[in-house]
Amino acid sequence: MLFLNNLNLWPGEQYAIDAIQQQLLSAIIGIGVATLASGFTPYLSMAQLQQQQ
């Protein structure tokens, strides 16, 4: 898919590589979202504290 397209692979191998790359991609996206969320958490909690006062 990303970097192994030019190799001659059996269909099963290509499928396995696609699945691995898909998992890597979703893991990277998940880590990015978690990092963003943890980055925004202090601001959100501060805003909630200000609303309660």
pLDDT at 19 over 70: yes
Average pLDDT over residues 3-31: 81
- Tokens at 21, concatenated: 């790359």
Round to whole Å and give the CA distance between 20 and 26. 10
- Give the model's confidence band at 30: pLDDT under 50 very low, under 70 low, under 90 confident, else very high: very high
Residue 1: what pLDDT?
Answer: 46
Does pTM surpass 0.85? no
Cβ-in-10-Å burial (0-12, 13-18, 19+) of 17 comes to middle
- Write the pLDDT tens digit of every residue in 32-52: 888 888 887 777 777 777 776
